[in-house]
Amino acid sequence: MAQLWGGRFTKETDKLVYNFNASISFDQKFYVQDIEGSIAHVVMLEKQGILTKEEKDAIVKGLTGIRQDVENGTLQITEEYEDIHSFVEANLIERIGDAGKKLHTGRSRNDQVALDMRMYTRMEVIAVDGLVKTLLETLLKIMEENTETYMPGFTHLQKAQPVTLAHHIGAYFEMFKRDRLRLKDIYHRMNYCPLGAGALAGTTYPLDRHYTASLLGFEGPTLNSMDSVSDRDYVIEFLSALSTIMMHLSRFCEEVIIWNSNEYRFVEIDDAYSTGSSIMPQKKNPDIAELVRGKTGRVYGALISILTTMKGIPLAYNKDMQEDKELTFDAIDTVKGCLALFEGMMRTMKFNKPVMEKSAMMGFTNATDAADYLVVKGVPFRDAHSIIGKLVLYCIDKNCSIDDLTIDELKSISPVFEEDVYEAISLKTCVEKRLTVGAPGPDAMQKVIQIEKEYLANDWHNEEEK
């Protein structure tokens, strides 16, 4: 009886262990990279005289066939294999026989998975960069159309000084530009080939690692075999860059949500990017912006998770590292989805320019300029600050803006005011006068827009993709 029970228990445990250990459910995502890496490996093995030309040709043909069959749906990647590497190798042997058993010569799954993950990540760095670039193009278009759309600039979410919509959007343009620079850096730092590192200590076969690296578009081979199989820095760096992109998107979403609220009405999100309520018929909710903001947590989670997984791993490969995949794949897909949706939402969003302008008028955003006006007339700044403070109080009482006061009312608070004050503190003047580099004045903004246009005309990864 015990034996029967014991046998049953052992069998069940084995199945659980197998499932716990297997990675095919997620590493099938890089079957293309696995096959491309294997092809480069055997081409190099033949060049080095380790495989014959016939063996190499048979393996390349077999691998190409597997890729085609997976792509056209005749070959399913199923969970009967432990991982994508076993799936490819088993299918190869089934197709071409004994030659297939030579594919893994001078290679370990440790350097193989390090290669696959690196190639997959490298491809996605370029894909994410392309999506950020598309977003930048949309933002630049909004900027070009709105260099004279006045709106309040905020600090502490309180109206501070007038800016333009072009200027406000331009702030995000800079953020996403930096995100692209980070991606470019990561790409170049990670673009070295780990294949040939073997399990951890290289191999005794005379591999040409430079050749394999060049076949796969890498700048060269990695220089330490133990580091090669256990380095996941590039995953962490990529997740960090993705987290920063999400942080930027999330801040932007927060603003869109505020701007779209009934109280602000600065913007109206297009129907196609809004959702309704099942109970309240009047509702048009900014769900897309909220979801992007919400999904930021998920991407940060992936970063923290992998940082934590990696922190205690001794050299060289350990199975912990299999945990680098699911969350990274999820984070990449999440960020790509968010970038695409956010871009569409921005492209179709309507800006209520008169509402924005009125808000800037009514919020005393020209108070600093009114104080500066007095300073020009000889009043010390501290006194001017206090005079305008009184003026603001007076206006709050009357529920009007400084511009609405008559010259007599202004003079009753300070005799220094003259007719030219209206021109000096008009919204247009307040913004137009701000002409230092990076300021909202339309002329200064035009110069920046020109720089951004030239920036968008060139892509850092055109060369790498060739």
Question: Which are the catalytic amino acids?
Answer: 156, 277
Nearer to ligand ARG, 92 or 96 (CB): 92
Our measurement of the distance from residue 88's CA atom to the centroid of its chain's CA atoms, rounded to an integer in Å, reads 32
- Identify the residue whose tokens are 């597997």: 66
Q: CB 340 → ligand ARG: shortest distance, Å?
A: 28
Short-list 376, 378, 28, 360, CA closest to 168:
360
Instruction: Give min distance, CB of 23 to ligand ARG, in A.
Output: 4
84 or 267, CB closer to ligand ARG?
84
Q: List interacting residues with ligand ARG (CB under 6 A).
A: 23, 27, 83, 109-110, 113, 317, 319, 321-322
Toward ligand ARG, which CB reaches closer, 23 or 38? 23
Dist. CA 288–CA 272, nearest whole Å = 10
Amino acid at position 298, single letter: R
Q: Do 322 and 23 contact (CB within 8 A), yes or no?
A: yes
Find how far residue 328's CA is from the centre of its chain: 13
Instruction: Provide, rounded to whole angstroms, the least separation between the CB of residue 163 and ligand ARG.
Output: 49
* Local structure of 351: helix, strand or coil: strand
Closer residue to ligand ARG (CB): 53 or 319: 319
Residue closest to ligand ARG (Cβ): 322
Residue (326 or 409) nearer to ligand ARG, CB: 326
Nearest distance from residue 364's CB to ligand ARG, in Å?
Answer: 60
Question: Which phi and psi angles does 146 have, rounded to 5°?
Answer: -135, 35
**CA-CA distance, 162 to 168, in Å (whole number)?**
10
Which residues are paired to 282 by β-bridges? none
| CA distances, 52 to each of 35, 38, 55, 216, 260 (Å) | 19, 16, 5, 21, 67
Long-range interactions of 419-424: CB distance < 8 A, separation 24+ = 421/370, 421/373, 424/369, 424/370, 424/373
Distance CA 202, CA 222 (A): 11
Q: Is 323:290 a contact under the CB 8 Å cutoff?
A: no
Nearest to 425 by CA among 382, 361, 379: 361
Q: Least distance from C-beta 325 to ligand ARG, angstroms? A: 6
Q: Cβ 109 to ligand ARG, closest distance in Å?
A: 4
- Look up residue 232 and give its two tokens: 């996941």
Listed in sequence order, the residues at least 6 apart from 249 whose beta carbon sits closer than 8 Å to its beta carbon are 292, 293, 296, 338, 339, 342
Q: How far is the CB of 307 from ligand ARG (least distance, A)?
A: 17
Residue 289: count other Cβ atoms within 10 Å of its Cβ. 28
Q: Provide the token pair at 373.
A: 């006006």
In the complex with ligand ARG, which residue's Cβ is closer, 77 or 288? 77
Taking the C-alpha atoms of residue 294 and residue 179, their distance in angstroms, rounded to an integer, is 20
Cβ-based nearer residue to ligand ARG, 83 or 237? 83
